[in-house]
Chain A
Amino acid sequence: MQGEQHFLRSIYVLFKKELMSYFNSPIAYIYLAVFLVLGNWLFVKPFFLNGELSMRAYFTLLPWILLFMAPAITMRSWSEEKKSGTIEFLLTLPLSSWQLVLAKFAGALSFLLIGLLLSLTLPFSLNRLGDLDLGPVIGGYLGALCLGSAYLAIGLLASVMTKNQIIALITSLAICFVLFIIGQQFILVTVPVVIAKFFGFISLGARFDNITRGLVDSRDLIYYLSFSYFCLWLNVKLLEARKWQ
């Protein structure tokens, strides 16, 4: 019990530092502003033309916005620590690599969560216009959190491999993009059935669509959870191997 408490306490201290480091620089505010303005604008612009009171259009848009947002959040996570030499301090603390990785992940996820919470103004405003069906909205946000955590886990992994933030950004963007796109219909119809099945299974996108449609299947949630876990596990292994000099 004491050990567990200690395990979590150290994570909490590091997590606070992570979150503080986001908000100590103006970049955090720029990210949030861009995320909110872009999302809301692209959604609201055609909203009144459609004449439909739902957020479906927003949740088709969100994966693409997250695709850029998540790698931008994580790109400096490890790269900056390596560049400034603070990684040497972190890795010689009497902590386990899991504690370090979980703290980083929790910091990034909380930042994303703040962005998503701020975007809640959208469903609240829509709800005033009429009766908004809340099921798909809750599903949509749950899906965004799942997809976001998978993106962030990939982003952390890319960041641990290089001390260059830009390389981390582009690598994670590319991986996220590929893993998202292979589940889209126009890809699935062009490849053989076996591969299509496989793509459909590993794709981050298809499952997101399910969840936003309001079909919250535990298998999809478990998939996102295990995908994120796998990336974080790789992250721990890479950190311990110290192969990134």
Chain B
Amino acid sequence: MIEIKGVTKKFGEITAVKGISFAVKKGEVLGFLGPNGAGKTTTMKLITGFWQADQGQVLIDGLDNVTHSKESRAKIGYLPETVPLYDEMKVYEYLRFIASIRDITPEMILPRIKEVVEICNLHSVIGKSLDELSKGYRQRVGLAQAIMHNPDILILDEPTTGLDPNQIAEIRELIKKIGKEKTVIFSTHILAEAQATCDRVVIINKGQIVAEGRPEELAQALKSQELVTLKLRAKGSEVTTALATLADLKNIKIVSEEAGLTTVTMESSARDEGVALGELLVKRAWPVCELVRGGVSLEEVFRELTK
């Protein structure tokens, strides 16, 4: 559906994207992850044809998006980072304008607007002026704009940034709903979001792809180096020696040792969900104050990968 082949884009001295390649299959929801300034927006603008790559190629349905610019642009619905709204218009005026410029036949315009309003839940604001809308509604009108012509491909640039948790949940639901039938690429810097909504995740940093895979796979890979923090009443040296006997633990470190309380951290690749560690603690009868698992989340790895 979408193929990005060795794409490079430079702005003067700065290389925003360095020879990245990835593909998105039909009907897939791809999360595009990365810190700010990693090249997410640039990549999306290259896919939508707003910019042209200095090197490499973007194929939309097998067609080069430079040589077959119009055909490929017609297949894409795009929600840029700044929602493209004409503030002086009313919501229905805007939607009608979008419908006509997207070549929807006059007799289909009203039914299509009704459908889109239904999908994006815009009933309550349809008569309002766009500059009166809250951020959540602006985002939804932007989404309505992107799906108006029923495109096969949706490119959404940080669709949940700046929204409150309820609105974020709504937009995510919406993406999931739309993603059932369409190919979606959306960018975010929130990992949980990618995990919750995507079939596959691409992590980009400094213009290069640093990880790629299904969220569960990535999470699994991360779990293999889960961080465990243990706080207990025992001597530090005794604790480390005892822990070292367990094969699944690595990098055992004493973080602090004061007033008889020892805090150690370790990386666990335990497949038995920590049963061995539990047994050890019971056997030695050390009073445990705190045992925290899963200190390494997707966030940590993300930070590790994108340092």
Contact = CB atoms under 8 A, between A and B. Distances in A.
Nearest to B73: A94
B86 A17 contact: yes
Given A92-B73, A92-B78, A242-B51, A17 B84 contact: no
Contacts of A10: 101, 103
A108 B93 CA distance: 20
Given A13-B100, A92-B78, A86 B70 contact: no
Given A92-B49, A92-B50, A242-B51, A24 B88 contact: yes
Best-surrounded residue of B11, B50, B93, B101 (most CB of chain A within 10 A): B101
Interface string A48-88: 00000000000000000000000000000000000011111
Contacts of A36: none
A21 B88 contact: yes
Interface in B105-161: 145
A76 to B, nearest CB: 11
Given A21-B86, A242-B50, 5 more contacts: A13-B97, A13-B100, A85-B82, A95-B70, A242-B51
Nearest to B77: A92
Q: In which size bucket is the chain B interface?
A: 20 to 34
A84 B85 contact: yes
A87 B145 CA distance: 14
A84 B88 CA distance: 12
B44 to A, nearest CB: 10
Interface in B24-80: 45, 48-51, 69-71, 73-74, 76, 78, 80
Contacts of A86: 84-86
Contacts of B86: 17, 21, 84, 86
Contact of A91 (B50, B103, B145): B50
A87 B48 CA distance: 13
A93 interface: yes
Contacts of A9: 103
B87 A89 contact: no
Contacts, number: 64
Contacts of A21: 86, 88-89
A52 B301 CA distance: 86
Interface residues of A, number: 24
B120 to A, nearest CB: 17
B88 A25 contact: yes
A95 B101 CA distance: 9
B48 A92 contact: yes
Contacts of A85: 80-84
A14 interface: yes
A25 B85 CA distance: 15
Contact of B89 (A24, A89, A91, A242): A24
Interface in A9-50: 9-10, 13-14, 17, 20-21, 24-25
B37 to A, nearest CB: 15
Nearest to A245: B11
A6 to B, nearest CB: 8
B97 A94 contact: no
Contacts of B45: 88
Contacts of A242: 50-51
B108 to A, nearest CB: 15
B84 A89 contact: yes
Contacts of A88: 45, 50, 78, 80, 82, 84
A227 B203 CA distance: 50
A13 to B, nearest CB: 5
Best-surrounded residue of B86, B89, B102 (most CB of chain A within 10 A): B86
Interface in A188-245: 242, 245
A92 to B, nearest CB: 5
A9 B89 CA distance: 21
Given A17-B97, A88-B50, A94 B85 contact: no
A95 B71 CA distance: 10
A17 B86 CA distance: 10
Smallest CB-CB A-B distances: 7 pairs: A85-B82, A89-B84, A94-B74, A24-B88, A94-B73, A86-B84, A94-B70
A94 B78 CA distance: 12
Contacts of B78: 88-89, 92
Contact of B84 (A14, A84, A245): A84
A25 B78 CA distance: 27
A9 B101 CA distance: 9
B71 A94 contact: yes
A93 B50 contact: no
B40 to A, nearest CB: 15
Interface string B2-27: 00000000010000000000000000
A21 B86 CA distance: 8
Contacts of B73: 92-94
A87 B81 CA distance: 12
Contacts of B85: 84, 86
Contacts of A6: 103
